[in-house]
Structure 1
Amino acid sequence: MPGMSRWARAGCVLVALALSTAQPLHGQAEVLERIEFVDNTAFSSDELLPLLQLRAAQRGFFHRLVRSYVRALASNPATPATLLGHLQRLENQLESELPSFDPRLLEGDLETLRRFYTQQGFHWAQIQAQLVRQPDRAVVLRFLIEEGPAARIDTLLYLGLEEVPAEIRRELQQLRRLRPGMRFRESALLEELEALRRLLRERGYAHATYERPQIYILSERNADSILVRFSPGPRLRFGALHFVETTTNAPPLTERIRRFCTEFQPGQWYDIRAVERTRLRLLRLGVFEMVRIDTLPSTGTGTLDLLATTRYRRFQETLLGASLYRTALESAPNLGVELQLSNVNLFGGAEKGQLLGRIGLRDPLGSLERGQLEYEFQLSAGLTFPYLLRRVGLSSQLSYGIRALVWPLRLEALAVQLRLPVEFAPWTWMTTTELTVDIRAERPVDYPRAAAAVDTVPALAPFLRQYERLYAYTHRGTRLFPPSDITMSLLLGADHRDHPATPNSGHTVLATLDIGGVGAIGLAQYVRLQTLLLGFLPLRHGSVLAGKLRIGRIWWRNRENSYVPYDRHFFAGGANSVRGWASRSLWDPASGGIQSGIGSALASYIGGALLIEGSGELRWRLPPLRLGPLSPYVEKLVLVTFLDWGNAYDRLTPQLYGTATVGDIFRNLALSAGLGIGYLTDVGPIRVDAALRLHDPLNASAPWIFQRSAALRQWSFHLGLGYAF
């Protein structure tokens, strides 16, 4: 066949033979190639298109490939008729699977568009449809729209609120946003009505409702007069809260814990917010699978009893399997195998006991970049009391672990941790605070062998000084006691995100203060302060603009004779930090004391005393696509573009600590940018990010990307659990 390559001919023959059993189709319906809107100015085509039942054809890659083959072969007179016929039948079969034009759906779509325009105040809008066949036989559906002028609000009356107390009427008046002269929009009216009803239910009117709005169109003025009748009902106070529980052989929840979770007292005015907070606090106990709170019929005494229906979850669980987990230190996901035994509601107070055993591989992608695998082994036992007092809990944990640093150096640790979380009242800006006491005993294992290996690289000797002091403190690594560190920490937080794992709006502010070396026992002496700011702004079409700023500082006291525990150091780089570098592989060359690639494995275990980093992300989800059974999975895909910046300064060695200048901080800020794709789960997306180094302070000869040859081929890849922040 002239004009075709040997491979193209072979591909066509194979496709035709594989589908030689396809049957011809008769009476094929017309397929819409496009749907267009003409003269729509108030609303974009993207806003109108989702209202329709009719859909334009969306052909997949294979479908488009077959179409292109058919067009090319049909124009070639040397194409065998058998081959062309098989491919045409295949194309017809694929075309028959596309949504076809249905006049009945068109009538419904016309009515939907007219109703939509009417609800938005365009009462005189005229909408017609045309079916146009293009010269290439493509069928296009056009909606011709004459919007006309938008109606304005003439009067807006709310009746039935006359008996409401004056102070509540003033609050209702402050919620009113619609005014005479504004454009009428039914969605804005319903939003205001819901806000008014919500306020009534927050002020004691548990059964407040309103009737369907009566809208009178004043055609001579192109205006609307609106009348809405409210039925507030009687103003009621809280009565008793009754429980109906479905148990699973678990101990029942004590009355004391139920009382702690209840956000209202009998005799207070009914408030729907207190009911919602009570339900949320009961669910947060981790004891119930389901909690529903309903109102009971009023007895006419001015009080309202409530009924809480609950279903207990399994109180004992045993889990064994692979795990993907993350620690704040690694800023990257870790892979492991773990066995977890848990028991909830041990004594009827929603207590939780847990035993955990885990073997993990830390930051696998970063380990490959650093040239050695890093593992850890951990055993822990924990007991949590959600409420010692009404808003104060207690959590305790005993843990033992071994973590591989640079071979053959390992770090063995035994720790006891006590945490006292405190909840703030719901009307405060702060949402949580936590006081933690951490007693830790650490000792380096195989330190002499590690020191002997470092002797061949004298520049690395200062990086072992911290572990040398710890080695001497533990009697040359032979004792784990007395504790090497007693730290007291205070966390203050305000979390106002709309969702903890996949936020679309809101902000978070966290501040942490750690004081090491509390008391006369221990080797650690330091003060560590860290702040974290997060912000999320919703944009159009489900996209979100997210930003992060993180700043941390360590003040190291008596640095010639003390140390800062490894998990308190600041590190930069990784899936949740500056993504152009692997976890713990980025530092300031001026105050970091070593160039990249020269003993960086050991250097990555001595962090910095100063951390400055920030990120900006644009996150968006794919629009709904008609992909058959694949659609639910494709709709869970998320795409991210990001820009990261930051670095870690003032290496925690006696010689380098405090040597970073203001010039070093600005001059050696690292920059990276990239793309990411993720799949949404209940705990956020499992994602893969790829980043390029825009400014690399560790590359002294060519720090900027335009100074490096083949820079566009030097990508850093990260596997992430949840969003980067």
Structure 2
Amino acid sequence: MMILMATDLTGQEARGVRLERAGDPVRFERLQELHEVTFEGYVQTSPSQLIGVIQSRPSELSVTRRLSRYYLTNLRRNPATPRVVLRLLDSIQRDLQNELRYYDPRVAEGDSTALLEYLGQNGFHTATVGYRFQQDAAARVNRLTFVVNEGPRAVIDTIIYLGMEDVPPDVLDRIRSNMTLKTGDPFSEAAFDQEIKNILVILRNNGYYRARSGRPAIGISRDKLRDTLAVLIEPGTRCRIARIVFEENTNGQPSINVSARRRQLEFEEGEWYSEEKVARTRTNLMNLGAFEIATIDTLARDTAVPDGQLNTDSTLTLRVFTRNQKVYDVGANLLMFQTSIDNYLNGGGGATALYRNVFGGAQTASITLQYVFQDLSRLFQSQQLESEALASLNFGWPSFARIFDQRAALNLNVFYSQRNLIHPFRLESAGLNARLPLSLYAHTFFNGIDLTLGLERQVPRNFQDALQTALKEATSVTDTIAVLQTFVQFSALDRYLSDERGFFTGTFFGISFRGEHRDNPVNPTSGTFTTLATEFGYGAGKFIRLQFFNTTASPLRERLVAATKVRLGHIILLDQSQLYVPLERQFFAGGAASIRSYPSRQLHDTASGKLGIEDITSADQYVFANILGSASLLELSFELRYTFPRPQGIDDLWASLIERSGITFFTDFGNAFNRLVPSAYGSARLEDFVIGSVMAAGFGYRFDTPVGPFRIDVGTSIYDPVRRNEAFIWNRQGALKLSNFQLSIGLGHAF
């Protein structure tokens, strides 16, 4: 038997404390108000653990109350203070009365008992807890202190699991391999409860549908240093799935055929019942996007089923119930979205017509019209926005096939677009994209694969006029050669189209491996996300494109997260006489999701990214930077992300806004190398990837939204090889001027 002991130290510890006069409202409030709750004597526990056990809480005063209290106390000492001022300040105090917390001996006594119980549940069987309430006259603080004497912590001496004698050896082996508690560990009642839950989960995933446990028993040795744990596990009869019954509430919509619903099942007749597979099946059904409700339950033994058979103690009938949702949707909306990997913030408007059940198998078809401005961060970087008008026809088949026993979907996209690049360039594109996403096991590092096929026709408009204009501005043979090199991408495409070698200018085959292990893909606080992608392109150019991307998030303390990014890319040209690589597949550096001390696409290595054009105007440099990328990319980033706690004592609206806000400090390192021109491609040396990279640093503001944090970042270059003699920031004149900082915005984290 555990004896709980709580000692009131108030009397002996409070001697000598000057009491306020009874009946004085202000002075009485000051004495009884609880300003601080502290703990003494703890060794193996911590205040953050103990504070969660008790009910006593200190006052959480807002800035308004603190200021009004300060002025009220001091102005009362001045006889000349107008009465109206005192009444106003006193009224503010009364209005904010709900911010105050008061000392209650009965609550403190209950808190002591709760602390003792908590300590006993964690092996401190000889612990004692006392408390005292005391006024610190010097600091004018009323403090409630809990004095904790933990004593030695008991360890687990024996663990006994009863009732699993008839469980098959293979299931017992799974249970043993997942056990974490062992003899010699410090006793924790919560850890033992979790161990029991883990055992029940394994049993329920291996046919024991009715598995349950009795109340755990804890035996404490006489010296209170060793604990014996025992629990009765009641597996019940092991059950197979005898029948699967499908029920559909069409809700006035077209029916979805049974075969489409059956393909979502993770289980089948004859298998042992698995709670995990049932949950995964429900998720699969909801992911079809065709149902309002999807539930899976068991039918009672005496419920009639189509074959007329009844369940036994060892068989189950599972009912899969679905209710269909509306199959069509038509709407127009403003768009604000973030591109994958590059994380550019795009915005515009669009209209979509969607049908969710084309062939009765939950297939979707949609027509989309969009006009989008790309990388809105350019608005704050004095750059011209690129825009794109897009029309597309999309088809999705969520349960297309099973590959290696894994479910695969099929997405088809036929599109036509007019993309306005930097004046006077315009790129007209049309094509077909097919994507086959395949989900792998959740516990593997790469838990998804994407197979892609693309057929594309791109036609540059106003190309010859732009080329002739640039050649006229060339002042030397060197300039002429450099201009031709810069336009070599579009020259290759123009020749390919002129020679009529084929309707499609590019055919692309790709495969990418995804590893998603973040706790929240939109705003992660822990976990990793990794992609490894390769793509083969054939047509106006022949190339292999490789890319690696990894981001991590790690909690350092409450509300503080450290995040990292590694992004590497390289394009291997299979025929260097054909340098064409589609613009969207080239590598660029700089911008809101890249090196944040540079505008979007404006950063290139000074050696392997140099064009060699003398007396180039800033306008031409801007054009060339936006139409001609690089074959290699290196980006490394680190961020500290802090989210503000919810303040107390202020209006709920303002408190909510502050709670959803945060700040970040970041550093970026990297550049784009091996410009896609004949004189530069392949010229980067290994050391260039270090000495040719820019190091940026800065800070930013975050505001959490349902689609990800809206962010504003300000960065500058700590080391910039482009500046040559002023590469390091301490060598620059006026380094702190606004012109040396770059402002960028984005939706979602930079990585």
Give the alignment's TM-score, normalised by structure 2: 0.85
For residues 238-257 of structure 1, the aligned pairs below 5 Å read 238-257=241-260
Does residue 463 in structure 1 map to residue 486 in structure 2? yes
Contact 1:126 1:146 in 2 (8 A): yes
CA deviation profile, 1:33-82 (whole Å, cap 9, x unmatched): 2221112222222232233333323333333443454466556x585333
1:41 aligned onto 2:43: yes
SS of equivalent residue, structure 2 residue 297: strand
Contact 2:579 2:677 in 1 (8 A): no
For residue 35 of structure 2, give the secondary structure of its aligned residue in structure 1.
Answer: strand
Match of 1:383 among 379, 391, 395: 395
Contact 1:622–1:634 (8 Å) recurs in 2: yes
Say if 1:397 and 1:405 are closer, same or farther in 2 by CA, change over 3 A: same
Structure 2 CA distance, aligned partners of 1:52 and 1:473? Answer: 76
Residues 489 and 514 in structure 1, CA contact (< 8 A), matched pair in contact too? yes
**Partner of 1:183: helix, strand, or coil?**
coil
What SS does structure 2 have at the residue aligned with 1:195?
helix
Deviation at 1:301, TM superposition (A): 5.0
Whether the 8 Å CA contact 1:240–1:306 is kept in 2: the answer is yes
Residue 456 of structure 1 and its aligned partner are, at CA, apart by 2.8
Q: How far did residue 87 of structure 1 move? A: 5.0
Corresponding residue number in structure 2 for 1:174: 177
One-letter code of the match for 1:40? Answer: Y
Report the residue type matching 2:652 in the other structure: P
| 1:78-120 CA-partner distances (Å, limit 9, x unpaired) | 8533364145314523551313215254344333322222211
State the secondary structure of the residue aligned to 2:160: strand
Alignment-mate amino acid for residue 465 of structure 1: V
Return the offset for 1:154: 2.7
Distance across 2 between alignment mates of 1:651 and 1:36: 63
State the 1:423 CA deviation: 3.3
State the number of aligned residues.
695
Q: Once the two structures are aligned, what percentage of the paired residues are identical?
A: 30
Aligned partners of 2:72 and 2:86 also within 8 Å: no
Query: 2:536 aligns to what?
Result: 515
Given the superposition, is the C-alpha separation of residues 724 and 38 from structure 1 closer, same or farther in structure 2, using an over 3 Å criterion?
A: same
For the residues of structure 1 that align with 2:84 and 2:630, how far apart are their CA atoms?
Answer: 69
130, 153, 157: which is aligned to 2:132? 130
- Aligned 8 A contact 2:377 2:591 in 1: no
- Report if the CA contact (8 A) 1:294-1:306 is conserved: yes
CA positional deviation for 1:609? 0.2
Asked whether the equivalents of residues 207 and 233 of structure 1 are also in contact (C-alpha less than 8 Å), the reply is yes
Whether the 8 Å CA contact 1:463–1:603 is kept in 2: the answer is: no
Per the TM alignment, residue 383 of structure 1 is displaced from its structure 2 partner at its CA by: 0.7
- Residues 409, 447 of structure 1: 8 Å contact kept: yes
Taking the TM superposition and a 5 Å limit, the aligned residue runs for 1:272-283 are 272-283=275-286
2:354 aligned with 1:342? yes
**Does 2:211 correspond to 1:208?**
yes
Q: Report deviation, 1:620.
A: 4.4
Partner SS, residue 52 of structure 2 = helix
Give distance in 2, aligned partners of 1:414 and 1:645: 36
Q: Deviations over 1:243-284 (max 9, x none)?
A: 344434332222222222111121112222222221222122
C-alpha distance in 1, partners of 2:733/2:89? 49
More displaced 10-residue stretch of structure 1: 314-323 or 703-712: 703-712
- Residue 505 of structure 2 is aligned with which of 484, 501, 504? 484
- How many angstroms does 1:452 deviate by? 4.6
Q: Distance in 1 between matches of 2:442 and 2:155?
A: 40
Say if 1:330 and 1:574, in contact at 8 Å, map to a contact too.
no
Matches within 5 A, 1:275-294: 275-294=278-297
1:545 to 2:562 alignment: yes
Change (3 A) 1:535 1:31: same
Report what 2:516 is aligned to: 495
Q: Distance in 2 between matches of 1:583 and 1:387?
A: 39
Tell me the equivalent position of 2:7: none
Match of 2:581 among 560, 564, 567: 564
1:122–1:148 Cα contact (<8 Å) kept: yes
Question: Following superposition of structure 1 onto structure 2, how do residues 144-223 of structure 1 map, counting pairs within 5 Å?
Answer: 144-223=147-226
Select the residue among 411, 422, 425 that pairs with 1:409: 425
CA distance in 2, matches of 1:329, 1:402: 23
Distance in 2 (CA, whole Å) between partners of 1:57 and 1:352 is 56
For structure 2, which runs of at least 5 residues remain unmatched after alignment? Answer: 1-24, 302-310
Please tell me the residue identity of whatever aligns with 1:85: L
- Corresponding position of 2:744: 718
Q: 1:330 to 1:531 in 2, by over 3 A?
A: closer
Q: Which residue of 2 aligns with 1:266?
A: 269
Q: Is the 8 A contact 1:55 1:99 kept in 2?
A: no
Matched, 1:674 2:686: no
Match of 2:438 among 422, 427, 439: 422
Give the letter aligned to residue 575 of structure 2.
N
Displacement after TM superposition at 1:610 (Å): 0.5
Q: Match of 2:590, SS?
A: coil
Compare 379-388 and 442-451 and name the one that shifted more: 442-451
Task: State the partner residue of 1:444.
Answer: 460
Distance 1:276 1:452 in 2: 64
Deviations 1:5-24 (A, max 9, x none): xxxxxxxxxxxxxxxxxxx9
Is residue 89 from structure 1 mapped to residue 105 from structure 2 by the alignment? no
Partner letter of residue 719 of structure 1? Answer: I
Displacement of 1:666: 1.1
Give, in angstroms, the shift of residue 628 of structure 1.
5.4
Please state how far the C-alpha of 1:413 moved relative to its aligned partner: 1.0
Instruction: Tell me the secondary structure at the aligned position of residue 83 of structure 2.
Output: helix
Q: Deviations over 1:396-444 (max 9, x none)?
A: 1111111221112111111211222333356755422222221111112
Looking at structure 2, the residues matched to 471 and 52 of structure 1 have their Cα atoms a distance apart, in angstroms, of 75
Q: Deviations over 1:339-382 (max 9, x none)?
A: 12212122221111111111122222224425323222111111
Corresponding residue of 1:13? none
State the SS of the aligned residue for 1:440. Answer: strand
- C-alpha separation between the residues in 2 aligned to 1:709 and 1:147? 61
Deviation at 1:192, TM superposition (A): 1.2
Would you say the 8 A contact 1:690–1:717 is kept in 2? yes
Q: Is the CA contact (8 Å cut-off) linking 1:288 and 1:311 kept in structure 2?
A: yes
Which amino acid is 1:550 matched to? Answer: R
User: Aligned AA for 2:358?
Assistant: L
Deviations 1:590-647 (A, max 9, x none): 1111599561243122111001112233344444543552445544444433332221
Q: What do residues 537-578 of structure 1 show as CA deviations (whole Å, max 9, x unaligned)?
A: 344425443332221110123344441100100112223222
Amino acid at match of 1:410: R
Residues 291-338 of structure 1, C-alpha deviations (whole Å, 9 max, x = no match): 332333452252222233333333212231211112248632011111
Does the 8 A contact of 2:33 with 2:103 survive in 1? no
Query: Structure 1 71/184 Cα, relative in aligned 2: closer, same or farther at 3 Å?
Result: same
Matched, 1:237 2:240: yes
Distance 1:124 1:295, change over 3 A: farther
RMSD: 2.9
Counterpart mapping for 1:516-665 below 5 A: 516-517=537-538, 522-541=539-558, 543-593=560-610, 599-626=621-648, 627=650, 629-630=652-653, 631-665=655-689
2:59 to 36, 54, 57: 57
Give secondary structure in 1 for the equivalent of 2:485: helix
In structure 2, relative to structure 1, the CA distance for the partners of 1:31 and 1:471 (3 Å cut) is farther
Whether the 8 Å CA contact 2:377–2:746 is kept in 1: the answer is: no
Letter in 2 for 1:93: R
Aligned residue identity for 2:98: E
Alignment pair present for 1:314 and 2:290: no
Which letter maps to 2:419?
R
Q: Which amino acid aligns with 1:149?
A: P
SS in 1 for 2:545: strand
Q: Counterparts of 1:391-406 in structure 2 under 5 Å?
A: 391-406=407-422
